[in-house]
Amino acid sequence: MKEYDVVIGLEIHAELKTKTKVFCSCKNEFGSKPNENTCPVCTGMPGALPIINKKAVELCIKAGLCFGCKISNYAVMERKNYFYPDLSKAYQISQLVHPLCIGGQIELASGKVMRLNRIHLEEDAGKLTHISKSVGTLVDYNRGGTPLIEIVTEPDFSSAEEVDEFLKRIREALVFADIANCKMEEGGMRCDVNLSLKEKGSTILGTRTEMKNLNSFKSVSRAIEYEIKRQTEVLNAGEKVIQETRKWDDAKGKNLTMRSKEEAQDYRYFPDPDILPIAISEEDIAKIASEMPQLPQARRQKYVEEFGLPKYDAEILTTSKYISDYFEECTKLLNSPKKISNWIMVDLLKLVKEQEEFVFPISAQHLVEIIKMVEEKTINKTVGIQLLEKVIETRQPPKSLADKMGLLVTISNEQILELLQKLKAENTKVCEDYKAAPEKVVGFIVGYVMKNTGGKANSMLVKQLIPEVFG
Ligand SMILES: [Zn+2]
């Protein structure tokens, strides 16, 4: 039996986070009533003229900057002609010869570099809902004209794991930079997989198949595994893989022939005569670049190398830009990254884990104030957590709240010394034990003082004062 190398290329579509559609001013909104957000342009009425959404162009450029693409100074929107009921114009406005972003790359954890071919801007089609044979099919054009970016990769992937990691990198960057929501369950990010096998070590590529619109990380992985197995069986049986588009059925866990695959020439692309070419100056690019946030990968590196955090912490803290920004705001107020990380990961994240988009119920300033009080031992950690809950509940500043609630350590040195003297007088054994091996009874002595002060003494201070009485 022959062995094969797997060759995979991806086309990833992500809906851009704009208020309006890309070629008209209809709302770009998920979940509206069918055909509520439509107009003559996005329903393809004859003679309707498109405009172009500047924000969509900017977001596409921003995506290019995320992945190190070269940004074009000259880009052209083209018509991709095909008929389908969800595409009322019978052409999709897309880009072929002059895309907005060219090249780019993403490095995986293994160090393997995955090259991008391009990122271009285009529009989404409407949505068909097949009801039944007697009722027929319903069409909703709300999604028609929604701005999309298509990220096209080179065929650099050789496993489902590499694809999975890459898609997660793409998604986190697009979400972080506020380019797209990438809600896969709403179709906000979809992935087409081109896959072929070639004989191990050979440079001749095999025939590829395409699986379109995979809309979860899990189904991408399953579809790839299935197709590798299927093509291997076809080739091992001495047959040929047919170039085609295959539809992945996630419920059945298999794919089926959908149609023979079209090539670019089948679409008769040509520049859209209603939309002028887009000129992008270096100043435009510099302005967009200046608005880019630092991306998660760079932030993780900083957290590990500069802040000395474990990789695990760095991963969790960069799961959203909000958490990461919050964490960084805290570190600017208090230079104790690991302590801050612990508070966020252990005490804050559990409060918001049910939320779709995390928003902590306490400001960074107030959290840092609590952490400082614990560090300075004016309260202990347990009291700190109680205080955190109370601050969240009342929204009052921690210090004055702790004062009002009587949580602050208020025992003076004199009071501590007095208690130590009392213990010494009451318990001669402790004195003897202390002389023999101080480290063995320190805990007991501190415990005595804490018990007699309702836990309000500063334990560090007690330890410092013990030798004055017992030494
Ligand atoms: Zn419209």
Spacing, Cα 127 to ligand 1 middle (Å): 15
Spacing, Cα 313 to ligand 1 middle (Å): 45
Spacing, Cα 50 to ligand 1 middle (Å): 9
Give the tens place of pLDDT for each residue, 3-36: 899 999 999 999 999 999 999 999 999 889 999 9
- Say how far apart CA 222 and CA 58 lie, in whole Å: 34
Spacing, Cα 189 to ligand 1 middle (Å): 21
Spacing, Cα 85 to ligand 1 middle (Å): 17
Among candidates 140, 448, 471, which has minimal Cα distance to 462?
448
Spacing, Cα 125 to ligand 1 middle (Å): 12
Spacing, Cα 430 to ligand 1 middle (Å): 85
Spacing, Cα 463 to ligand 1 middle (Å): 73
SS3 436: helix
Phi (first) and psi of residue 293, to 5 degrees: -80, 160
Spacing, Cα 138 to ligand 1 middle (Å): 19
Spacing, Cα 82 to ligand 1 middle (Å): 20
Say if CB 120 and CB 278 are below 8 A apart. no
Spacing, Cα 120 to ligand 1 middle (Å): 21
Say if CB 144 and CB 115 are below 8 A apart. no
CB count, 10 Å around CB of 345? 16
Give the tens place of pLDDT for each residue, 347-405: 999 888 877 777 899 999 999 999 999 888 788 888 889 899 999 999 999 988 888 88
Spacing, Cα 274 to ligand 1 middle (Å): 15
Domains along the chain with CATH numbers: 4-284 (no CATH), 292-404 (no CATH), 413-470 (1.10.10)
Spacing, Cα 59 to ligand 1 middle (Å): 20
Helix (H) or strand (E) segment spanning residue 383: helix 381-394
Which residues, 6 or more positions from 405, have their beta carbon under 8 angstroms from its beta carbon? 387, 390
Spacing, Cα 45 to ligand 1 middle (Å): 10
Spacing, Cα 38 to ligand 1 middle (Å): 4
Spacing, Cα 139 to ligand 1 middle (Å): 15
- Say how far apart CA 368 and CA 363 lie, in whole Å: 9
Spacing, Cα 26 to ligand 1 middle (Å): 4
Single pTM value for the model: 0.83
Spacing, Cα 132 to ligand 1 middle (Å): 28
pLDDT score for 261: 66
Spacing, Cα 119 to ligand 1 middle (Å): 24
Which residues, 6 or more positions from 97, have their beta carbon under 8 angstroms from its beta carbon? 76, 78, 269
From first to last of its 471 residues, the chain has per-residue pLDDT tens of 788 999 999 999 999 999 999 999 999 998 899 999 999 999 999 999 999 999 999 999 999 999 999 999 999 999 999 999 999 999 999 999 999 999 999 999 999 999 999 999 999 999 999 999 998 999 999 999 999 999 999 999 999 999 999 999 999 999 999 999 999 888 899 999 999 999 998 888 899 999 998 989 999 999 999 999 999 999 999 999 999 999 999 889 899 888 776 676 789 999 999 999 999 999 999 999 999 999 999 999 999 999 999 999 999 999 889 999 999 999 999 999 999 999 999 999 988 887 777 789 999 999 999 999 988 878 888 888 989 999 999 999 998 888 888 777 777 788 889 999 999 888 888 888 988 888 889 999 999 988 888 877 777 778 888 988 887
